[in-house]
Amino acid sequence: MSDAEGAPEVGRKPAREPELGPGPEPSLATAGLTKAFGGVTALDSATVSFHHGKVNALIGPNGSGKTTFFNCVTGMIRPDAGHVTYRGRDLTGWPSHRIARAGIGRSFQLCRVFPRMTVLDNLLAAVRPRSLAGQLARSGGREETERARGWLTRMGIEHLERAEARHLSWGQQKLLELAGVLMSEPELILLDEPAGGVNPALIDRICDLVRELNAEGRTFLIVEHNMDMVMSLSDHVVVFDRGRPIAQGPPSVIQSDERVLGAYLGV
């Protein structure tokens, strides 16, 4: 199930596909993605692909390159080598706003909202006008305000719409960040540790939201350390260690993979 090297990984997947009939439609995929910071190789020729329309998870020990992977595929940092594709389209080297407009939204590990904007403005700032006239048009029109309120209601923070985001609790900020990402209408949503620092009740709520949104057609890619959450939520799990995938498959298979246990427990 798992291979020590990145290269055999590539060969393995197509070999399995005939058994499954037409394989899952690829969503985000990378080929040979490499990024080094000084002497530290954060991503080491990572070749990996995620499934469209599914909840995908990316796990691995601290420092295994998960966040660097997020930053490379969303254009926050430039990879040194390799390619990023999304549904067959090459996004390598695109600036992050173009990648966002291609339908990929993301949250940040240390939840980032616009602290001195109101909760409602946080969502209105995520509206992406396509035309010049649309950019010069007044912000906060009826349609977009209603859409924003809809997301806030769904997150359960609609009563805070006029509060400044910095006054919200950590959990509320996490929900606000997710609402902002949804407001930008992504097809694929990358969540960087959605359960980090969040109480169990809210974790359940976030899980429910992910399930609902996935059922409505959005693809997820989640980096998370909470294994209960990963295993119960995801359809497809990729395990990173030292900047490259060491295993991938459905949660049930990953859970019993020796290499994964080794990477986590340091055996």
Partner 1 sequence: MRRDSDTPSSVPFPRRRLLHLGALLAAVAVAVSFPSMAPSPYEITVGIAILNYAVLSTSWNFVGGFTGYISLGHGAFAGLGAYATGLLVAKGELPPFAALFVAAALVAVLAVPVGYAALRVRGASFVIVSIALVLVLLLVFQSWASFTGGSRGLVVPRPFPGMLRAEHHRTFYFLFLALLATALLVWWLIDRSRFGMGLKAIREDEDKAQSLGTPTYTYKLVVFVVSAAFTALAGGLYALWFGDLDPVFQFSILSGAYMVLMALLGGVRRLYGPLLGAVAVGYALEYAKVEYGDTPLHLVVAGLLLGVVVTFMPDGVIPAAAALLGRFRDTGRTSIREVTAAELRGRREQSDGKEVRDGERRGRGA
List residues near partner 1 by CB under 8 A.
74, 76, 95-97, 100-101, 105-106, 108, 112-118, 120-121, 124-129, 134-140, 145, 156, 159-160, 162-163, 167-168, 180-181, 184, 199-205, 228
Q: Which of 258, 252, 245 is nearest to 230 (CA)?
A: 252
Between 205 and 242, name the residue whose CB sits nearer to partner 1: 205
Residue with smaller CB distance to partner 1, 12 or 135: 135
Q: In the complex, what is the shortest distance from the CB of residue 90 to partner 1, in angstroms, rounded to a whole number? A: 19
- Give me the least distance between CB of 96 and partner 1, in Å please: 5
CB of 258 to partner 1, least distance (A): 26
103: region left, alpha or beta (phi > 0 left; psi from -120 to 50 alpha): left
- Cβ 159 to partner 1, closest distance in Å? 6
Closest to 107 in 3D by CA, of 228, 210, 211, 205: 210
Whichever of 3 and 164 has its CB closer to partner 1, that residue is 164
Structure tokens at 261: 């246990």
Amino acid letter at 144?
E
- Name the β-bridge partners of 89: 86
Structure-token pair, residue 240: 């990173």
Rg (CA), the chain: 19
Tell me how far CA of residue 252 lies from CA of 100, 102, 189, 233, in angstroms.
32, 32, 23, 12
| Shortest distance, position 211 Cβ to partner 1, whole Å | 13
> For residues 75 and 243, which CB has a smaller minimum distance to partner 1 in the complex?
75
In the bound state with partner 1, the residue whose beta carbon lies nearer, of 65 and 105, is: 105
φ, ψ for residue 141 (rounded to 5)? Answer: -65, 170
